């Protein structure tokens, strides 16, 4: 699939997806397109969002995600408001500097011409500039934008998705079964995890999960894992050291590899050639 297609985020009737996967330890992992190829909503218009999950998430996990995402959106809105108010703030501060400089030059005599006027006027204008900047964050525009985005995030409705549940099942099997697998049996065991039927997941959603997971792992480790899995899917025999290395990565539940992230990326790679072309969203 071309790179431009892989980076296209699905919009079913103008909606954007939020995907929930349940970690093998019961905690939650979310994927959303905002900040990647889709700008964060900033209240300029409404962006309908829908949520999908495999194994049903806990209510507190959904609440935490909404609060976390809204916190990111708040920062973007504050940044947008500050950018829009920069020129007015700069002009006001410049006017105060000029007015102060001229007043001090005309009415105050001092032994150091210009120096005192520049220091005093500059100091006052800087204070005014940053005072206006602080007040910009609580303007009506900023508050209204945040209220709109809060409504968008609170309105997200999560529904069960068969494809995500299949990915979760394979992912959890890798985490729980890999420690007991002998490296000589690794190839047959991994291939047995891949269902024959196409995975009922939108290709764009699949690639969203792949990109986000790959970014968490890093380019070097993800590349090593991709080469090994693709070699396996092509029916090539893995070298003994490759099998040992792959098992070591799959059984790493934390540390520098992240919590079960290597196992999740492996599960996603196993479905690389098994993605259905189209799935009707509910």
Contact 195, 167 (CB under 8 A): no
Residues 106-160 pLDDT 10s: 666 655 566 666 666 667 677 666 676 666 656 677 777 788 888 888 888 899 9
* Domain ranges, ordered by start, for the chain: 3-78+155-270, 86-138
Contact 171, 262 (CB under 8 A): no
3-state DSSP assignment of residue 160: strand
d(CA 282, CA 279): 9
Strand-pairing partners, residue 85, are: none
Element (H, E) at 8: none
Cβ neighbors of 138 (< 8 A, separation 6 or more) are: none
pLDDT number for residue 191: 83
Per-chain mean pLDDT for the chain: 76
The phi-psi region of residue 35 (left if phi > 0; otherwise alpha if psi is between -120 and 50; otherwise beta) is: left
Q: Are strands 158-160 and 49-53 parallel, antiparallel or unpaired?
A: parallel
d(CA 208, CA 33): 7
11 pLDDT band, cuts 50/70/90, is: very low
d(CA 42, CA 114): 45
pLDDT tops 70 at residue 52: yes
Share of the chain above pLDDT 70, in %: 69
d(CA 194, CA 274): 8
pLDDT number for residue 255: 45
Contact 145, 183 (CB under 8 A): no
Residues 150-205 pLDDT 10s: 888 888 889 999 999 999 999 999 888 888 888 788 888 888 888 777 788 888 88
d(CA 66, CA 72): 10
Q: Sign of the CA dihedral 10, 173, 189, 195?
A: negative
pLDDT tops 60 at residue 12: no
């Amino acid at each position: 699939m071309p790179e431009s297609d892989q980076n296209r985020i699905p919009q079913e009737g103008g909606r954007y997806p939020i995907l929930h996967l349940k970690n093998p330890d019961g905690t939650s992992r979310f994927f959303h397109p905002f900040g990647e190829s889709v700008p964060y909503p900033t209240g300029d218009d409404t962006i309908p969002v829908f949520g999908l999950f495999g194994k049903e998430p806990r209510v507190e996990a959904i609440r935490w995600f909404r609060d976390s995402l809204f916190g990111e959106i708040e920062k973007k809105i504050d940044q947008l408001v500050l950018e829009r108010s920069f020129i007015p703030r700069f002009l006001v501060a410049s006017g105060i500097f000029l007015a102060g400089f001229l007043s001090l030059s005309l009415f105050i005599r001092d032994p150091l011409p210009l120096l005192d006027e520049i220091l005093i006027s500059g100091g006052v204008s800087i204070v005014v500039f940053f005072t206006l900047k602080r007040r910009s964050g609580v303007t009506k525009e900023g508050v209204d934008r945040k209220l709109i985005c809060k409504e968008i995030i609170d309105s997200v409705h999560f529904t069960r998705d068969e494809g995500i549940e299949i990915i979760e099942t394979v992912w959890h099997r890798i985490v729980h079964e890999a420690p007991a697998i002998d490296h000589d049996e690794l190839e047959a065991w991994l291939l047995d995890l891949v269902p024959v039927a196409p995975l009922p997941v939108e290709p764009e959603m699949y690639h969203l999960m792949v990109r986000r997971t790959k970014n968490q792992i890093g380019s070097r480790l993800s590349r090593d894992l991709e080469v090994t899995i693709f070699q396996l899917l092509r029916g090539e025999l893995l070298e003994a050291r490759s099998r040992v290395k792959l098992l070591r990565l799959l059984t790493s539940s934390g540390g520098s590899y992240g919590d079960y992230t290597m196992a999740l990326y492996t599960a996603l790679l196993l479905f690389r050639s098994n993605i259905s072309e189209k799935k009707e969203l509910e």
